[in-house]
């Protein structure tokens, strides 16, 4: 008898065949005979006692919980195919004694199986999975060979995401990619599970949506329709890894109008359902609806027959947050003509037993529970470092999404818990910014380049921040990548931003593949940090030993006169052919001038040396000239400060003079006659 009922009535999307072919069920007579045989076998097991007083159970060969009768009492199929809630049918468990001594488990007639374990709500401990049923298709004579996926793979595949916000970013990427189909927003919010009142995660966009086939590809492994270089997604695995990393279950509602006939589709990817029923294959129940012009309403869309639709719908009603078909269809009310709504429920807990995502501490944000441990201190540098975005993005979804994309598409909004996320461009946080052109050498490929904007973060050196925000195709991959690791503070406060499309990110998009190009980039960014530090560290109060003694003394005097906060100076560029606008977006000048002046080496102590680096070429200024320029610049700054000080003193003395004069005029002096 076929013991895995899901193979009969549930769409198996791990198969290499897109068609959903229902398998005929066993006759009622055969089922009754098999049940009687199993019961008789159970009675033949010798009783024994157990010190734990545990009574194991054997699964009798009957329909498990995921299968439902087609027309149970109380269910009526109308003319439009609408169903009322289906009555749940629980599996029949026959208690048997513990195994007697000498019993061999290989005896078919006395097979004993323990009930499937309950799902652990802690993500990193929920990978244990017990298969209660064997899929008969795997050993069927003459059956086709195909790659089958155990449900445990859903969990192991999701472990690629070490960080919950990285999983949410994957879903935001899908919404950003929908800009090409007209998407104008993506909404991230809390959703209350109507069954138990628990918090769930909702992500919704108004993109093009998915037709029934596209939904099945989305919930399958390895399928991706994103072939354009402009799109972020490319592997066809992000939806599965991200949703399963955030929670045990996800339900998708999508509406589409691409095929002239509007369709609505609902799909459920449920680790809870697979584990509780002991399936040995990844099964995804889906139902579809299409618009009927004659009735001006959506009716059931039967891809094969009513039996398959009814079975899938019954599983959705049992394992999703919605207990009736009407509740399912109501979720389309706020989607509009097209769009997708994703609800991740049964969210994972952390190791302390608390829900990993915190919806309560900040009603305008989603936090990671336990990640925000603010140190109570009165020190300004500690407070400034804690409040900067490089620290907050580790636990605040609003802070992370504000820097997640280098440029938000025009007319597109990221709405987090009812409030728009304001984009934070780290370039605007820099003092003394410079632009450096980096050209990686890639054999056999067209010449590529990346413009790196580098500078001191405002508030340095009090703000203990450093590193590079490295983007790939507009998406942040490595936030504040600290390439200059040392114990003596060199590079503190130096921050850079660049878009490196010539190296590939890992599947979780939180790091880059450790290729040769990656290693070259890391070395160049480290050099860039030290070069910038050697040239500008005196501007924020450090003693720059690379400067002449006279300049160092002048810098110390300037710091004493100016106070702790450095003056704001105009933006400067190392390469004169890369000017910046007020928003620090680099533009290029004439190619001849660029070829002449590109790649200026900035190490002051490298007298007359020429670099042989593959990414720099061109002429170099004389070091003595560079030193004189720095001296003149510092002298001009000192004179400006002295002028300002003198003007302030003059204004103060003039004010005192006016006060004395007014007092003199107010005196009433009378002369005697």
pLDDT confidence of residue 548: 75
Residue 617 pLDDT exceeds 70: no
Q: In whole angstroms, what is the distance from residue 617 CA to residue 596 CA?
A: 9
pLDDT digits over 151-165, tens only?
Answer: 788 888 888 888 999
> Residue 27 in contact with residue 12, Cβ under 8 Å?
no
CB 166 within 8 A of CB 396: no
Q: What does the pLDDT average to over 412-430?
A: 96
Domain ranges of the chain: 151-368, 425-547
Please give the Cα distance from 659 to 203 (Å, whole number): 67
CB 174 within 8 A of CB 43: no
Q: pLDDT tens, 346-359? A: 999 998 999 999 99
- In the chain, count H helices and then E strands: 16, 18
CATH class for the domain made up of 425-547: alpha beta
The answer, yes or no, to whether residue 66 has pLDDT greater than 70, is: no
Q: For residue 32, what are the CA distances in angstroms to 28, 29, 37, 114, 215?
A: 6, 5, 9, 23, 38
* Percentage of the residues of the chain whose pLDDT score is greater than 70: 63
> Is 425-547 the same fold as 151-368?
no
Asked whether residue 673 carries a pLDDT value surpassing 70, the answer given is: no
pLDDT, position 129: 55
- What is the arithmetic mean of pLDDT over 190-200? 96
Pick the range with the lowest mean pLDDT from 296-305, 355-364, 416-425: 296-305
∠ CA 112-116-117, nearest 5°, is 130
Q: Is the pLDDT of residue 505 over 70?
A: yes
- Cα separation values, 442 from 439, 599, 618, Å: 9, 19, 20
Q: What is the pTM of this model?
A: 0.67
Start-to-end C-alpha separation, the chain: 138
Distance CA 530, CA 65 (A): 64
Domain 151-368 has CATH 1.10.3470: no
Contacts of 34 (CB under 8 A, 6+ apart): 1, 26, 61
Q: Is residue 85 predicted with pLDDT exceeding 50? A: no
| pLDDT at position 124 | 62
Query: What count of other Cβ atoms lies within 10 Å of the Cβ of residue 149?
Result: 18
Q: Is the pLDDT of residue 132 over 60?
A: no
In eight-state DSSP terms, residue 57 is E
């Amino acid at each position: 008898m076929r013991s895995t009922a899901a193979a009969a009535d549930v769409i198996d999307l791990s198969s290499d065949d897109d068609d959903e072919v229902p398998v005929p069920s066993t006759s009622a007579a055969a089922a009754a005979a098999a049940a009687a045989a199993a019961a008789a076998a159970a009675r033949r097991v010798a009783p024994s006692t157990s010190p734990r007083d545990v009574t194991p159970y054997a699964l009798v060969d009957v329909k498990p919980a995921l299968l439902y009768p087609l027309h149970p009492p109380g269910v009526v199929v109308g003319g439009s195919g609408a169903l009322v809630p289906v009555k749940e049918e629980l599996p029949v468990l026959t208690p048997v004694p513990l195994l007697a001594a000498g019993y061999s488990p290989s005896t078919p007639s006395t097979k004993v199986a323990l009930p499937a374990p309950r799902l652990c709500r802690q993500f990193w401990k929920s990978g244990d999975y017990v298969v209660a049923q064997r899929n008969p298709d795997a050993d069927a004579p003459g059956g086709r060979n195909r790659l089958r996926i155990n449900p445990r793979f859903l969990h192991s595949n999701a472990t690629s995401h070490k960080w919950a916000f990285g999983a949410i970013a994957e879903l935001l990427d899908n919404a950003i990619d929908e800009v090409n189909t007209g998407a104008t927003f993506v909404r991230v919010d809390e959703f209350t599970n109507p069954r138990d009142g628990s918090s769930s995660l909702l992500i919704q966009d108004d993109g093009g949506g998915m037709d029934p086939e596209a939904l099945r590809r989305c919930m399958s492994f390895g399928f991706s329709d994103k072939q354009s270089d402009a799109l972020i997604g490319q592997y066809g695995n992000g939806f599965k890894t991200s949703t399963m990393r955030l929670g045990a279950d996800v339900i998708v509602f999508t509406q589409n109008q691409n095929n002239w006939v509007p369709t609505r589709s609902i799909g459920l990817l449920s680790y809870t359902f697979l584990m509780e029923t002991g399936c040995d294959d990844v099964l995804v129940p889906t139902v579809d609806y299409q618009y009927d012009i004659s009735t001006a309403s959506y009716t059931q869309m039967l891809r094969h027959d009513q039996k398959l639709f009814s079975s899938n719908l019954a599983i959705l009603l049992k394992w999703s947050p919605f207990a009736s078909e009407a509740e399912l269809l109501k979720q389309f009310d706020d989607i509009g003509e097209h769009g997708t709504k994703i609800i991740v429920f049964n969210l994972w807990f952390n190791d302390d037993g608390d829900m990993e995502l915190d919806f309560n501490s900040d009603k305008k944000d989603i936090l990671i529970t336990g990640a925000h441990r603010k140190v109570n201190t009165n020190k300004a540098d500690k407070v400034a470092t804690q409040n900067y975005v490089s620290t907050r993005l580790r636990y605040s979804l609003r802070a992370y999404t504000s820097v997640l994309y280098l440029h938000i598409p025009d007319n597109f909004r990221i709405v987090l818990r009812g409030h728009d996320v304001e984009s934070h461009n780290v370039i605007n946080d820099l003092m003394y910014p410079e632009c450096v052109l980096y050209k990686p050498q890639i054999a056999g490929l067209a010449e590529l380049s990346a413009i790196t904007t580098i500078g001191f973060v405002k508030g340095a050196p009090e703000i203990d921040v450093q590193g590079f925000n490295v983007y790939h195709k507009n998406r942040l991959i490595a936030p504040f990548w600290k390439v200059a690791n040392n114990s003596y503070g060199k590079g503190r406060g130096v921050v850079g931003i660049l878009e490196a499309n010539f190296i590939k990110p890992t599947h979780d998009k939180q790091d880059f593949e450790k290729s040769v190009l990656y290693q070259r980039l890391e070395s160049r960014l480290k050099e860039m940090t030290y070069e910038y530090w050697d040239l500008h560290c005196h501007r924020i109060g450090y003693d720059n030993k690379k400067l002449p003694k006279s300049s160092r003394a002048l810098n110390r005097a300037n710091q004493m006169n100016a106070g702790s906060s450095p003056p704001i100076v105009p933006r400067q560029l190392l390469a004169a052919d890369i000017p910046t606008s007020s928003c620090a977006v680099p533009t290029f000048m004439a190619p001849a001038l660029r070829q002449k002046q590109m790649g200026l080496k900035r190490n002051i102590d490298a007298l007359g040396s020429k670099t042989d680096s593959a990414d720099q070429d061109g002429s170099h200024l004389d070091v003595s000239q560079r030193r004189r320029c720095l001296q003149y610049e510092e002298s001009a700054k000192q004179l400006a400060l002295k002028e300002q000080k003198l003007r302030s003193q003059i204004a103060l003395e003039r004010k005192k003079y006016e006060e004395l004069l007014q007092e003199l005029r107010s005196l009433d002096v009378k002369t005697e006659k």
